[in-house]
Amino acid sequence: MKAADVKAKSADELLDQLAKLKKEQFNLRFQRATGQLENTARVRQIRRDIARIKTVLGERRKASAS
């Protein structure tokens, strides 16, 4: 997911996407613990996507507060 894609979405869409990514991250953690994780790079990708979404949401909150 690119930063431009994240910025183009509404806050509600971002919150939905964030929830989906958190669920996927949870499932990947279990797969890693049980030795079933095949795509280890996906863990890093999910973590960064979550950070991107949180950053954009924080920027929007800060802009609306001032």
In tens, the pLDDT along 15-26 reads 999 999 999 999
Sign of CA dihedral 3, 4, 7, 9: negative
pLDDT of residue 36: 95
Q: At what angle do helices 11-34 and 41-65 cross, to 10 degrees?
A: 150
Q: How many whole angstroms separate alpha carbon 24 and alpha carbon 26?
A: 5
pTM of the complete model: 0.91
CB distance 19 to 44 below 8 Å:
no
Query: Which pLDDT score is estimated for 1?
Result: 81
pLDDT for residue 66: 79
Quick: pLDDT tens for 3-61: 899 999 999 999 999 999 999 999 999 999 999 999 999 999 999 999 999 999 999 99
Helix H or strand E segment including 61: helix 41-65
